Amino acid sequence: MSNPSDEARAGRRATIKDVARQARVSFKTVSRVMNRDQRVNADMREAVEAAMAALDYRPHRAARMMRGNRTFAIALLAGSRDEPLRGGRVPFPEYLGEVIAGCAQACRPAGFHLVFELLSYGDRRKAAAVAGALLDDLSPDGVVLAPPLCDLEWLLDLLDQRAIHYVRLMPGAFPERGTCLAVDDFAAARALTERLLAAGHRHLAFIAGPPDHLAAHARRAGFEAAVVACPGARARIDEGDFFLASGEREALRLLSGEDRPTALFAANDSMAAGALKAAAALGLAVPRDLAIAGYDDSFTASLTTPVLTSVRQPTTELARRAATLLIAAANAGEPVRAETTRLACTVVERASTRSPITAEFQGERLP
């Protein structure tokens, strides 16, 4: 008589009874494990999970939906003001790839499906109708909101009206609403600025993000706090919009003239890349004549010449935690706790700020 694992390898889809036989437990115990029932002891849970892995068992989604009136789906909503489904290029943040990866890491092992949807919110009335229909069709067990959607008050209202649990990633407004996962932008920006000051720079420039965005405000505040705390340091600040063109435009303004800064910090990597273009246009060598740093440690940071010093955010981990919270709440039948959790960032120093003074400070040998 063949065993269940042999049959599964032969092509027959394993069933819950196969898992029960392999784990030597009842099929009700297997069901309790899949539903995250805390009454199952650790040994039985481990045996069932090992059997599921050995048999490559995947619960039948439709059957689970019928039993519990649930979709076992987590929706990730992202978007922009422009229409993403029409022709032409629509700018979307690079971090979305990391957000998708983090959500998938939580959903797949838990037997949940990740549904990714793009939403255009330029026309509020149309966007609200589309979002409402989308939520009604999907009936997700939870929603992860990526910026800038996480800051749309009308979308938060839609979710609250439908009693759909949601987690907001890196919100820039309404910090009191819902569960928020973010980073300590103030501390990270201050730490990077302190490195520039420790390298000997005393005349700095900063290209800030939109003033109404909380993260942009925190990064600017961290930069200013570091400069104020350093005797003899001074700074010039201009505002961009997080896109490359604004970084180039503001950098040209900040770097023109004889009294130019020796270090420039942009509130994201796209604007820092624009600053590199401006420096090249002005004939400035980076980092010999000018140190340039960004924020986000996005893919852009590795493509520039020289590669950018930047602040690395734990974006994948933030997204994984968001989906995990929603899955746990759905399985427990309880709401997600309304609170804000902040994770630490890491300063990653690269060639764009490694001047002789910086190298000496770090104890490095110059090539």
303-348 pLDDT, tens digit per residue, is: 999 999 999 999 999 999 999 999 999 988 888 888 999 998 999 9
Per the structure, the complete domain to which residue 20 belongs is given by: 4-59
Mark whether 337 and 354 lie in a shared domain.
no
Is residue 260 predicted with pLDDT exceeding 90?
yes
Residue 68 lies in a domain: no
pLDDT confidence bin for 35, thresholds 50/70/90: low
Q: What is the pLDDT of residue 55?
A: 85
Burial of 136 (0-12, 13-18, 19+ CB in 10 A): exposed
Claim to verify: residue 113 and residue 16 sit in the same structural domain: no
CATH number of the structural domain spanning residue 52: 1.10.260.40
The answer on 291 and 237 residing in a single domain is: yes
How confident is the prediction for the chain on average, in pLDDT? Answer: 86
Residues 89 and 168 in one domain: yes
* Residue 228 and residue 116 share a domain: no
Q: Examine residue 129 and state whether it is found in any structural domain, yes or no.
A: yes
Whether 232 has a pLDDT exceeding 90, the answer reads yes
Whether the per-residue pLDDT at 157 is higher than 80: the answer is yes
Residues 200 and 239 in one domain: yes
How many residues are listed for the chain in this entry?
367
Same domain, 240 and 289: yes
Tokens of 60: 């039948």
Domain assignment present for residue 367? The answer is no
Whether 114 contacts 74, CB under 8 Å: yes
Closest CA to 180 of 145, 140, 210: 145
Q: Are both 85 and 220 inside the same structural domain?
A: no
Q: What pLDDT was estimated at residue 307?
A: 96
Q: Is the pLDDT of residue 130 over 60?
A: yes
Q: Is 193 in the same domain as 174?
A: no
What are the counts of helices (DSSP H) followed by strands (DSSP E) for the chain?
Answer: 15, 12
Same structural domain for residues 50 and 89? Answer: no
Answer yes or no: do 77 and 25 share one domain.
no
- Would the pLDDT of 122 be above 90? no
User: Could you tell me if 197 and 302 lie in one domain?
Assistant: yes
With CA atoms as reference, report the closest residue to 70 among 338, 333, 336.
333
Which tokens go with 329? 């709440």
Say if 223 falls within a structural domain.
yes
Our count of domains for the chain comes to 3
> What is the CB neighbour count within 10 angstroms for residue 320?
21
**Cβ proximity of 298 and 95 under 8 Å:** yes
The predicted pLDDT at position 8 comes to: 45
In a domain? residue 66? no
Which whole number is the average pLDDT over 132-157?
92
